[in-house]
Structure 1
Amino acid sequence: MDFFNSALGKNITFVRPEYFIITGFVGIPNMKYYYIFLFFVYFVSVLGNGAVMALIFLDHNLRTPKYIAVFNLAFVDLLGNTVLVPKVLDIFLFNHPFISYNDCLTFLFFCYTCLCMQSLNLVALSYDRLIAIIFPLHYQVKVTHRSMLTLIASFWAFVVTVNLIIAGLLTRLSFCKSVVINSYFCDHGQIYRLACNDNTPNLVFGRFLIFLILWLPMVFIFLSYSYIVYTLSKIATFHERVKAFKTCTAHLSLVAIYFIPIVITFTMSANIHPNARIINLSLTSIFPPMLNPIIYVLQTQEIKVSLRKILKTRMQTKVMAKKVIIM
């Protein structure tokens, strides 16, 4: 406590609020329709990601290093929307804007952990495609179950650590001015800007995290696909190029859906209304987890084959059961 008082000054007392008030969507007209849309997105996200996880678990042919990363992405998407959407609906639709200090930090931790893992999971999938196309003969040696599990476990350890630091840095702040968070969740940037004492460590670490989680993965993915395109240009026939690049279309779609809206929102944030920015950010948080399983089902041949096989097996089982009942 002496440390905080010295940081604040002799005439200011360190204040840790009992609660925060989240007001991001308040005052925006016709928001009830947006809440219905949020519920629809969440429902489709649960069904889609649950189905992808079930397919990978049930079909032994899909238990490859690539689909370990796909399974993890589906799990993170499901967890992220489950953490975010029901709480957002509770806050705004059912008018419960008050959230306790500890619950707010917990909410922040899980939201940021899932958002960070979505980005890094795309890096894992990019690495898988890079090795598969650049070193096809050595793919099974370089990308094994163990190496993919190690990579994903490392990403989990990293994001959990940095988000614990993010939450921990907030505990050193004193909130003697306001407890109103103008966002749709416990947003780190909105919280530390409410502090009375020095928030420089929060600002610096927040920007460093954006670099690590947003810009660095984007650069890696861009360089990976630049090298992939260069390698494919050396392939003799056009048919071989198209066939090789088709294996990347699902991943490229996920990358576009995740990164493009975030980059546009961040680069244009100074020129758009705060309400529009909040809605755009909320869409970039909840929309990719809904679309990711749809993209994989529609664009990935192995997933479509597995889905048809499981549905066919279930239909045959039902027909056999009916025959047994009739006999």
Structure 2
Amino acid sequence: MESANQTHAAEFLLLGFSAKSETQFMLFGLFLCVYLVTFTGNLLIILAICSDPRLHTPMYFFLANLSFVDICFTSTTVPKMLWNIQTQSKVITYAGCLSQTFFFFVFGCLDNLVLTVMAYDRFVAICHPLHYSVIMNPQLCGLLALGSWCISVMGSLLETLTLLRLSFCTNMDIPHFFCDLPEVLKLACSDTFINNVVVYFVVIVLGVLPLSGILFSYSQIFSSILRISSARGKYKAFSTCGSHLSVVSLFYGTSLGEYLSSAATSSTRTSLVASVMYTIVTPMLNPFIYSLRNRDMKGALSRVVPLSIRTITGLS
């Protein structure tokens, strides 16, 4: 009973990046700018897709979902980090740490599943173009989006609820800027075998299997593209999935890099930099990747941005 009471009263310390005040000030400005760019860029993508009827297609429907998830994914960690830097406090409550862990897994898994669904959408569009409108109907798109949410929430609940059974030691320092689950488990005094089993199970179901689906989809896509006789046709087919392939490579490359770096070295700074790449930098780059090479998206954004500026100016 005593250990349980200690667990629920515990406070963790997020050690973050640096203890130097001048460095903290620079980090605050940098991450605030990155967060605002991420939030604004993904919000503009959503507004552009919602406002332009020509973008009311399955591909852009899932892109709007991805942009919303990226906003939420970044908002799970960055505002708390900025608050801690601003107030010169490293404390996060036990409940706050559990909440952050839950939402981090929800939106991290959602990012993964939405990218998988988008790969399936590109697979149908390129490999079965004549049946695309029949297969990717609004009902299926809605079910795929809803299913991704339900699976992510259930997986995150499984991860988070198993934390409630743990008691923690007196050392509550987390060498990270958010409650990263592996770092939290290292602080536990009780046995973490069940937690580790759950982690591996969720990683396989919500990480390895979706990645396998993406790789299978693109193997079929590349096979279909190679069978196209004209070079122009090959380029047109590949251009429809080029942006998605870039985002997939960036997301999985940085997330795998984070866990490989933490496994290969004990350097906290290396792990922090890798975490920043997939939790903060990747969501910021996604809007640029999808808008710079997409003529329809650039056209929609060119109409949304001036309207947004006029609205803000009128309100002010």
Q: Under a length normalisation based on structure 2, what TM-score does the superposition of the two structures give? A: 0.90
Map Cα deviations across residues 24-74 of structure 1 (whole Å, 9 max, x no partner): 324489354333221111011111011111111111121112111111111
Percent identity over the alignment is 31
Equivalenced residue count is 306
Larger displacement relative to structure 2 (268-277 or 180-189):
268-277
Q: Which runs of 4+ in 1 moved over 6 A?
A: none
Aligned to 1:30, the other structure's residue is in SS state helix
Larger displacement relative to structure 2 (187-196 or 269-278):
269-278
Map Cα deviations across residues 74-108 of structure 1 (whole Å, 9 max, x no partner): 11111122222111111234222111111111111
**1:54 and 2:47 aligned:** yes
**Aligned CA-pair RMSD:** 2.3
Per the TM alignment, residue 292 of structure 1 is displaced from its structure 2 partner at its CA by: 0.8
Equivalent residue in structure 1 for 2:293, among 299, 303, 322: 299
**1:21 and 2:13 aligned:** yes
- Asked if the contact 1:184/1:282 (under 8 Å) is kept, the reply is no
Give the Cα separation in 2 of the matches to 1:309 and 1:40: 24
1:209–1:40 distance in 2 versus 1, CA, 3 Å: same
**1:198 and 2:191 aligned:** yes
Larger displacement relative to structure 2 (58-67 or 208-217):
208-217
Q: What letter matches 2:10 in structure 1?
A: E
Give the Cα separation in 2 of the matches to 1:311 and 1:49: 12
Mind listing any 5+ residue stretches in structure 2 that lack a counterpart? 311-316
Give the Cα separation in 2 of the matches to 1:103 and 1:311: 36
Equivalent residue in structure 2 for 1:166, among 159, 165, 169: 159
Map Cα deviations across residues 154-213 of structure 1 (whole Å, 9 max, x no partner): 010011111112111000001134222221111111112211111111111112222233
Aligned to 2:286, the other structure's residue is in SS state helix
Aligned to 2:191, the other structure's residue is in SS state coil
Give the Cα separation in 2 of the matches to 1:27 and 1:176: 23
Aligned to 2:189, the other structure's residue is in SS state coil
Per the TM alignment, residue 302 of structure 1 is displaced from its structure 2 partner at its CA by: 1.9
Per the TM alignment, residue 109 of structure 1 is displaced from its structure 2 partner at its CA by: 1.0
Equivalent residue in structure 1 for 2:221, among 228, 241, 251: 228
Larger displacement relative to structure 2 (32-41 or 169-178):
32-41
Per the TM alignment, residue 310 of structure 1 is displaced from its structure 2 partner at its CA by: 5.1
**1:210 and 2:174 aligned:** no
Give the Cα separation in 1 of the matches to 2:77 and 2:236: 38
Which has the greater radius of gyration? 1
The structure with more helix, counted as a fraction of residues = 2
